[in-house]
Amino acid sequence: MSRLWRVLSVLARLPAWEWSTNLHPAIGPPWPSSPIERKQFLSKAMSGTKIEWQNGKFVVPQHPIIPFIEGDGIGPDIWRAARNVFDEAVHQTFGEERRVVWSEILAGEKAYAETGEWLPEATLDAIREYRCAIKGPLTTPVGGGIRSLNVSLRQLLDLYACVRPVRWFTGVPSPVHSPEKLDVVIFRENLEDVYAGIEYQAGSPEARKLQSFLVDELSANVRPDSAFGIKPMSAYNSKRLIAKAIRFALTRGRDSVTLVHKGNIMKFTEGAFRDWGYELAAEEFAEHTISEAATWEGASAAGKVVIKDRIADAMFQQVLLRPNEYSVIATPNLNGDYLSDACAAQVGGLGMAPGANMGDGVALFEATHGTAPKYAGQDKVNPTSVILSGVMMFEELGWPEVAEAIIAGIEGAIAEKTVTYDLARQMDGAREVSCSGFAEAIVKHLPQRATA
Ligand code: NAP
């Protein structure tokens, strides 16, 4: 018992995020009652190891430490449900061999209540250090000078790619007649364009100064009562986003990358995005890619990723009318924002859409919807968005078996029409279950581990 006490004293001096998940009675599994079980529990909690980044890949130990932010509003409900699915799927797949050591980090309302800060520096440090984290939705604090926490996380951690796969699961209600034809992965630039946040209110000194500069120095025709939003787009950030999309297509066996832009109107920003994309493909991926234009002239695309481009407005038609012609999409920030939600609507809405914010060697997986405050604490909403974000995470970490098991679990639950309210209200004969009930249904349908 005295040894246990010594371990506890050491833990008490560690930063909260290093141990809280495994020991916090409200978050972690129950604190065992017998001393022997407690010892085993503690040694398990301390057995995690950091994920490393080598040669452009995550190097993942058997017991990786993965920080999580449970999020505000419905966040705790969906996180609890998702964590149950993740742990069961890892266990069903790998038995005792592998296990995720979850470790809570704070952001949003919980962070503010406990530390007086919405986004503590320790949270950013933990994500940098442990490289891979997962989060629920965060409230955007209302008030002067406070930025969206999600935007801050992306900017401060240099997470330059927002990755959103959109696919349909059999049985999910959809407003289109062939939702199975849509299976795209959208790579949306995550730091620039409207996310750069350079905006001036009409009549402000900044707006007046800018208006004078544009009229006097650049002979532009701009009304004096104008407001301004500036949309910077750099070759550097556009190219590294497009490179990530092309690498993804190559490693996941996807046949095309489509650059979606509004270059017919914004030639030097959106148009440049398209040009930089073709340039990059020719310079860095010449052996493995081919432009669509070259295929029109008779060149063979066999074994290569076809690089094509579409104007954004036309693309909204394309994903409805000919979705199976698109596989990976790379796009500037604002187009990607619209397009990913429009695509998600075809496959069941935001509750079914996962996302990840990725940089080089750091990734933050997240539910794409908000905190839905009216449902907070009701154990009601659909946890699939954050569960599918976990699927993306396990794929990225090189545990695809776990990802496949979870997908099979989701498919099984939906096939027997055991679903949360959002899907149940659109499905005939559905059995409506709670958020945690849906997680249990997924667990019930996980493929059982073959025992020797
Ligand atoms: P929201 O939280 O996404 O909720 C809008 C509606 O979407 C809900 O009322 C619900 O529709 C549906 N919904 C959302 N999540 C669902 C789920 N898991 N299962 C089923 N249905 C779901 O959007 P909001 O009300 O505009 O935003 C609320 C807060 O979230 C704001 O503070 C916003 O800044 C923040 N936000 C955060 C993120 C993020 O952290 N990534 C993203 C967006 C917004 P029904 O009412 O039809 O049931």
Task: Let me know: does 254 contact 185? Beta carbons within 8 Å.
Answer: yes
Residue 3 pLDDT greater than 50, yes or no: no
Predicted pLDDT at 194: 85
Task: Let me know: does 364 contact 157? Beta carbons within 8 Å.
Answer: yes
Query: Beta-carbon neighbour count of residue 452 at 10 Å?
Result: 2
Residue of the nearest CA to atom 47 in ligand 1? Answer: 422
Query: Beta-carbon neighbour count of residue 84 at 10 Å?
Result: 17
pLDDT band at 28 (very low <50, low <70, confident <90, very high): very low
Pocket test for ligand 1, best of 119, 369, 389, 436 (most atoms within 8 A of CB): 369
Catalytic site positions: 195, 262, 313, 337
CA angle, residues 123, 194, 329, in degrees to nearest 5: 85
Task: Let me know: does 259 contact 273? Beta carbons within 8 Å.
Answer: yes
Is the shortest distance between the CB of 445 and ligand 1 below 6 Å? no
> CA of 360: how far to CAs of 124, 136, 171, 278, 304, in Å?
15, 22, 36, 22, 25
Is the shortest distance between the CB of 137 and ligand 1 below 6 Å? yes
Query: pLDDT tens digit string along 176-199?
Result: 999 999 999 999 999 999 878 889
Share of the chain above pLDDT 70, in %: 88
Is the shortest distance between the CB of 370 and ligand 1 below 6 Å? yes
Q: Is the pTM of this model over 0.75?
A: yes
Residue 451 pLDDT greater than 80, yes or no: no
Is the shortest distance between the CB of 382 and ligand 1 below 6 Å? yes
Query: pLDDT tens digit string along 202-212?
Result: 999 999 999 99
Q: In what order do the strands lie in the sheet with 354-358?
A: 101-104, 65-69, 132-135, 363-367, 354-358, 161-167, 183-189, 328-331, 256-261, 305-311, 289-291
Query: pLDDT tens digit string along 337-373?
Result: 999 999 999 998 878 889 999 999 999 999 988 999 9
Residue 35 pLDDT greater than 60, yes or no: no
How many CA atoms within 13 Å lie on the side-chain side of 212? 6
Query: pLDDT tens digit string along 386-437?
Result: 999 999 999 999 999 999 999 999 999 999 999 999 999 988 899 999 999 9
Supply φ then ψ for residue 64, to 5 degrees: -70, 145
State the average pLDDT for the chain.
89
Identify the top-confidence range among 39-48, 56-65, 191-200. Answer: 56-65
| DSSP category for residue 416 | T
